[in-house]
Amino acid sequence: MTEHVSSSGDDRTANNAVRHQYRVLSDEEKAAMERIKDMGAAFISEPHALGGTDPDCERFASRNLSLANTHMEDAVMRAVRHLTA
């Protein structure tokens, strides 16, 4: 059973094998991280809508839609890394 922790919680290193130290985020930074992730999730649903694929499935209708998804995931990750650095 996988343990889950909130990405904006102070315990977010509990299930992270790579980055062992994080600084404690301010409430504003936590809210910003949640906004960034929500915007990314909203965008990621669009390639599925465009291609007529199931959002719960990882397959996309075309390589270009798959790449759009990959780049959005990367954009979210880099914005969050900026906040948590």
Query: What is the domain count for the chain?
Result: 1
Residue 40 lies in a domain: yes
CA atoms within 13 A on the CB side of 79: 18
Q: Which domain holds residue 45?
A: 27-84
Q: Which residue has the tokens 């199931």?
A: 54
Token pair listed for 65? 């839609």
Q: Which residue has the tokens 């919680």?
A: 9
Q: DSSP class of residue 37?
A: H
Residue 32 CB neighbour total at 10 angstroms: 17
Residue 22 lies in a domain: no
Residue 49, H or E segment: helix 27-51
Distance CA 71, CA 32 (A): 20
Which pTM was predicted? 0.72
pLDDT tens digits, residue range 48-63? 999 999 888 888 999 9
Backbone angles phi, psi at 9, to 5 degrees: -80, 160
pLDDT top residue among 47 and 19: 47
Residue 65 lies in a domain: yes
Q: What is the pLDDT of residue 1?
A: 47
Residue 57 lies in a domain: yes
